[in-house]
A and B are shown apart, each in its own frame.
Chain A
């Protein structure tokens, strides 16, 4: 069973450009969350998707948008890229474990560099 997968692995963009990152959750997981991790920091919550709708959102500007497809995969779009958007972008999918607790599993991330 494949875990959470993300593409691409690395990406280099120029300021002002737009970027789309992709995520496929683990099989059976229906909720996808996106996080941004700057160098030397813990991941910061961007937003979460469930049943193709954005359920909740962190403190990120509208330049960050997303989408979830019927097969639960998800995209993160960032418009008008800034140098400060350079980070590791992580996708997580949620699973209701046997103990009745949710567990979140993360993908390998996409390293975005904005020049």
Chain B
């Protein structure tokens, strides 16, 4: 079965700094979702990547799927308090999503 590992598990960043979150898959990714979640709330769709080398941006958040399609990275530029939360990557496996455990992002003012 496919597994996703996210790193780091937790991240504390000074406001205004850039940061990167990684998502590594045990198998080839045919569709990779990135979601953001505030504690105890639902998941907010950020973007979906499908093609190797594909890169997408949403406001100050950029995600890329590597050429071999086994790793994705999510990069936040000039972080703001509103970026705080849990970031989840999910692999699209036959219309269901297999999720990583998430990366908890804290932004220090």
Which residues of A are in contact with B by a Cβ distance under 8 Å? 4, 6, 31, 33, 35, 40-45, 48, 55-56, 58, 88, 90, 92, 94, 101-109, 111
A4 cross-chain contacts in B, Cβ below 8 A: 42
- Is A42 in contact with B48, judged by CB distance below 8 angstroms? no
A102-B92 contact, Cβ under 8 Å, with A88-B40, A90-B43, A109-B41 = yes
Measured in the bound complex, the distance between the Cα atoms of B45 and A90 in whole Å is 13
| Interchain CA distance A102-B100 in the complex, whole Å | 19
Question: Would B95 and A94 count as touching, CB distance under 8 A?
Answer: yes
Check B75 for interface membership: any CB of A closer than 8 A.
Answer: no
When the two chains form their complex, are residues B41 and A108 in contact, meaning their CB atoms are under 8 A apart? Answer: yes
* The residue from A42, A55, A101 contacting B101, defined by CB atoms under 8 A apart: A42
What separation, in Å, do the CA atoms of A102 and B95 have in the docked complex?
8
The total of chain B residues at the interface (CB under 8 A) is 24
A94 to B43, CA, bound (A): 14
Which residues on B sit within 8 Å (CB–CB) of A44?
99
A74 to chain B, nearest CB (A): 15
Residues on A with beta carbons closer than 8 Å to the beta carbon of B31:
101-102
A43 contacts B99, CB within 8 Å? Answer: yes
| Nearest-neighbor residue (CB-CB) of A110 within chain B | B42
Minimal beta-carbon separation of B42 from chain A (angstroms) = 4
Q: Does B68 belong to the interface (CB within 8 Å)?
A: no
Q: Could you tell me the distance between the alpha carbons of A108 and B92 in the complex, rounded to whole angstroms?
A: 21
Shortest CB–CB separation between residue A1 and chain B, in angstroms?
A: 14
A94–B97 CA distance with the chains assembled, in angstroms:
11
- Min CB distance A32 to B, Å, is 11
